[in-house]
């Protein structure tokens, strides 16, 4: 059995962190300490926003067979 992945951070928290950095000019290191989120995670969120226009979490499931009998 595969171990479960941890739940992603809420969209609300992501939004607060990104707004603190982009709108209020708080340094990433300070935002990391205030919101208890790693600096690497903040960098990933900012990178995803630059690429996709948003910082939504990735889907937390793997594609594939769900092993349900349909008939």
The predicted-structure confidence for 28-46, as pLDDT tens digits, reads as follows 999 999 999 999 999 999 9
**Do 17 and 67 form a contact (C-beta atoms < 8 A)?**
no
Q: What is the pTM of this model?
A: 0.73
For the chain, give every domain's residue range.
Answer: 11-52
Average of per-residue pLDDT across 44-59: 87
């Amino acid at each position: 059995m595969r171990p479960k992945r941890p739940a992603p951070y809420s969209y609300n928290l992501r939004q607060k962190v990104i707004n603190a950095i982009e709108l209020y000019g708080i340094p990433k290191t300070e935002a990391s300490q205030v919101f208890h989120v790693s600096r690497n995670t903040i960098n990933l969120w900012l990178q995803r926003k630059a690429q996709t226009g948003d910082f939504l979490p990735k889907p937390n499931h793997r594609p594939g067979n769900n092993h349900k009998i349909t008939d």
